[in-house]
């Protein structure tokens, strides 16, 4: 295994060159959703409004309460809002998560889910050397939704893996690693059991690597889970099928201090949706103690997508300073509120 190089402090995301220059007034679809989504999304908006960048925020509704009141978890107008906006900032959904986030990813044409997991100074982390980025295929696999009950007590799930989607995520992953100075790329799979589907995935990735002259390692996803715990410093960019990327990135959250620190981007050709990796956290919803860091870091990825690279660097620096010096929310051992942490980040800006 090749040891990963040290990436720059402001890790970038590869997005469509068409968005590289930004605009005078970009439209941001804002969908708080359920639970702590309604607390951390306003925090991220406060941070964005503290910058010298002009945005038009347009709010849409989705989630459990919307299902109860309107009979659908994701109204058509919210779907269209995300599809038509320059970018979307999403909080969380509760029991209706699959009915909300999967269509929203479709609305922005997302084919890649980018999940950085890095340890920050001042945060009590299991593995402070961790600095990983999961590049997760976002359109197929077991999340395609092809499930059936074929007899009483007998159900099936169809796993779809295509050459086109596999090649696309491989191209993105290798380009991301090169652009962000990661020397190590690992492809996660389970082709020893899922021989046809993950065999297809590996073959497609291999052709992309050969055509581009890219080097990479392969790892069985279950063995990789163990190695990430023991030696995270040996890994940089991890290219994953859909389910593997979901599970492994959550595992990595445990290495760096919890889900409250993981942002993510759902990337399309010229649109994207940004969300914290954590869920709606109903156990603490309404208490005002949710950690806004993951959502604010997701907003930094949004800034990058829209071409505001300098602003993204400033936001990340402010978050990292507050994580190091405090105040901190209870999940990080502090007693600060969401508003306290948000105000501290804005003060740093």
Q: Which residue is it, tokens 């989607």? A: 165
Give 205-218 pLDDT, tens digit per residue.
999 999 999 999 99
Give 250-295 pLDDT, tens digit per residue.
999 999 999 889 999 999 998 999 999 999 999 999 999 999 999 9
Extract the tokens encoding 99. Answer: 């009915």
- Report whether 139 contacts 111 (CB < 8 A): yes
Which neighbouring-strand residues pair with 275? 264
pLDDT (0 to 100) of residue 11: 44
Evaluate if residue 10 carries a pLDDT over 70.
Answer: no
Any idea which residues carry the catalytic annotation?
A: 143, 190, 222, 246, 250
> How confident is the model over 105-121, as a mean pLDDT?
96
Evaluate if residue 129 carries a pLDDT over 90.
Answer: yes
Q: Which pLDDT band holds residue 13 (cuts at 50, 70, 90)?
A: low
Residue 119: phi, psi to the nearest 5?
-85, 145
Give 133-158 pLDDT, tens digit per residue.
999 999 999 988 899 999 999 999 99
Give 244-258 pLDDT, tens digit per residue.
999 999 999 999 999
> How confident is the model over 153-168, as a mean pLDDT?
96
User: What is the pLDDT of the chain when averaged over all its residues?
Assistant: 92
Full-model pTM: 0.90
Q: Residue 34 and residue 23: Cα distance in Å, rounded? A: 30
**DSSP conformation letters of 33-49:** ESTTHHHHHHHHHHHHH
Q: Residue 1 and residue 134: Cα distance in Å, rounded? A: 17
- Report whether 338 contacts 290 (CB < 8 A): yes
Extract the tokens encoding 87. Answer: 């970018």
Extract the tokens encoding 103. Answer: 């269509």
Q: How many CB atoms lie within 10 A of CB 147?
A: 10
């Amino acid at each position: 295994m090749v040891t990963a190089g040290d990436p720059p402090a402001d890790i970038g995301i590869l997005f469509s060159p068409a968005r590289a220059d930004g605009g005078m007034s970009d439209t941001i679809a804002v969908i708080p959703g359920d639970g702590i989504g309604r607390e951390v999304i306003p925090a991220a908006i406060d941070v964005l409004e503290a910058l010298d960048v002009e945005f038009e925020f347009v709010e849409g509704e989705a989630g459990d309460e919307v299902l109860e009141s309107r009979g659908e978890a994701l109204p058509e107008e919210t779907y269209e809002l995300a599809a038509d906006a320059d970018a979307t900032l999403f909080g969380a959904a509760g029991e209706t998560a699959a009915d909300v986030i999967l269509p929203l990813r479709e609305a922005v044409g997302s084919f890649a889910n980018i999940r950085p997991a890095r340890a920050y100074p001042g945060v009590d982390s299991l593995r402070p050397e961790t600095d990983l980025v999961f590049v997760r295929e976002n359109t197929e696999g077991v999340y395609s939704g092809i499930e059936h009950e074929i007899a009483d007590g007998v159900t099936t799930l169809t796993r779809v893996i295509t050459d086109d989607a596999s090649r696309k995520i491989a191209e993105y992953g290798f380009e991301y690693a090169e652009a962000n100075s990661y020397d190590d790329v690992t492809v996660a799979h389970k082709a020893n059991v899922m021989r046809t589907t993950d065999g297809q995935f590996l073959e497609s990735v291999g052709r992309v690597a050969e055509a581009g002259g890219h080097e990479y390692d392969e790892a069985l996803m279950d063995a990789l889970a163990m190695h990430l715990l023991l030696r995270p410093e040996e890994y940089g960019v991890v290219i994953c099928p859909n389910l593997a990327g979901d599970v492994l990135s959550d595992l990595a959250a445990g290495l760096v201090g919890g889900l409250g620190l993981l942002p993510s981007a759902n990337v399309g050709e010229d649109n994207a949706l940004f969300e914290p990796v954590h869920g709606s956290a109903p156990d603490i919803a309404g208490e005002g103690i949710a950690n806004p860091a993951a959502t604010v870091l997701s907003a930094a990825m949004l800034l990058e997508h829209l071409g505001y690279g300098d602003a993204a660097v400033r936001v990340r620096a402010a978050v990292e300073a507050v994580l190091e010096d405090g105040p901190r929310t209870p999940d990080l051992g502090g007693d600060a509120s969401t508003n306290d942490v948000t105000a501290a980040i804005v003060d740093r800006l």
